Amino acid sequence: MAVGWARDGAIQAQIDATIEDGVQRIRSRLPAGESLTHCEACDTMIPERRRSAIPGVRLCIGCQAEKEAQTSSSGFN
């Protein structure tokens, strides 16, 4: 495939770097540390299975879903 003056594999390396940057950005936003026993938004108890599955969880499933619904309508793809 003709790619002009780019060295072989340069385009793939750029794609890989973009993906890696995105993965790192998302990982940096994941909760960490001790999980809360009760939701910080509505004070509902957070089930043990959720707390162990997601270290650092701070919201119950309902509040997390609401937060994600608000975020997804922000125009990001």
Over residues 5-64, the pLDDT tens digits come to 767 788 899 999 999 999 999 888 877 789 999 999 999 999 999 999 988 999 999 999
In angstroms, rounded to a whole number, what is the distance separating the alpha carbons of residues 70 and 65?
A: 9
pLDDT at 3: 54
CB 3 within 8 A of CB 10: yes
Determine the Cα–Cα distance for residues 39 and 63; give it in Å rounded to an integer: 8
Nearest to 39 by CA among 61, 68, 56, 59: 59
- Are 23 and 16 in contact by the 8 Å Cβ rule? The answer is no
Maximum distance among all Cα pairs of the chain, rounded to whole angstroms: 59
Q: Domain residues of the chain, as ranges?
A: 10-72
